[in-house]
Amino acid sequence: MRINFGHTPDAELTYGAWSHDGTQRTAAGTLMPQVGPATGAYSVIDNNIANGDIIVVKEGAIVVGYGTYSDNIAVETTIHADGIVADTAFRLTVGSSDDDAYNNMVVSVTDVSGRDTRARRVTNYVGSTKTVTVDSDFMFPLAENDVVRIWADTYSQTAGAAAIADIADAVWEETMQDHNSTGTTGLQLLMANGGRY
């Protein structure tokens, strides 16, 4: 299982892993190497860990990150120091170099100042700049070091005008008999038509 972590470039990071019942999976103090010089991207493959294990990352004696391992996460990182592009676009500290790698996946961002978390759909990803574009704004100002998780599952349908048109067609093509319960728009339309279908 791969563990990825974004932090200050050229730090000496270590980690440890424990199961939910406290059984140690990987000894505390195990080195987490940086991927390339001065990248701030740290990664290690650890076949001892499993879904639900607790991972603690330290720089020296100071805890700099922790969380629950999930193999359903494509990447867990932060927003880059100069990563705010727009309300609906930001740059990752660590991410794939392949264009469209995260398209149509769910991305959640946790506001480090307010601890608010919101999820959106990734509509575009540019690997060369690690820029994520989402379908709508997060409703809080994005900031450096906000925590980003991109989930490996994708939406079953792509976003866009075609999906919206399909939904609208399905709604307007429904028969009124199926939607005439008390207090519904269907009943109001029925009544406006003199009670005739």
Alpha-carbon torsion (101, 52, 35, 85), positive or negative: positive
CA-to-CA distance for 193 and 17, rounded, in angstroms?
66
% of the chain exceeding 70 in pLDDT: 80
Weakest mean pLDDT among 26-35, 162-171, 181-190: 162-171
State which residues form the domain around 166.
161-192
Same domain, 132 and 99: yes
pLDDT at 196: 64
pLDDT at 114: 65
Instruction: Considering only residues 177 and 11, tell me which one the structure prediction assigns the higher pLDDT.
Output: 11
Q: What's the DSSP call for residue 165? A: H
Confidence of residue 68 (pLDDT cuts 50, 70, 90): confident
Mean per-residue pLDDT over the chain, rounded? 81
Residue 6 lies in a domain: yes
Same domain, 54 and 86: no
Q: How many helices (H) and strands (E) does the chain have?
A: 2, 12
pLDDT at 142: 92
In the chain, how many domains are there?
3
Q: Say how many C-beta atoms besides its own lie within 10 A of residue 114's C-beta.
A: 11
Residue 197 lies in a domain: no
CA-to-CA distance for 28 and 177, rounded, in angstroms?
64
Same domain, 98 and 167: no
Same domain, 80 and 124: yes
CA-to-CA distance for 18 and 48, rounded, in angstroms?
10
> Taking residues 75-95, what's their average pLDDT?
89
CA-to-CA distance for 79 and 169, rounded, in angstroms?
39
pLDDT at 88: 93
Closest C-alpha among 91, 110, 104 to residue 159: 104
Asked if the model's pLDDT at residue 160 lies above 60, the reply is no
Weakest mean pLDDT among 1-10, 133-142, 175-184: 175-184
**E-only strand ranges, 60-187:** 62-68, 73-86, 89-92, 105-110, 117-126, 131-134, 147-154
Q: How far is CA 33 from CA 29, 58, 61, 115, 178, in A?
A: 12, 12, 17, 29, 60
pTM for the full predicted model = 0.52
Closest C-alpha among 86, 73, 13, 8 to residue 43: 13
Q: Which of 45, 68, 91 is the last residue of a domain?
A: 68
Residue 178 lies in a domain: yes
Confidence of residue 10 (pLDDT cuts 50, 70, 90): confident
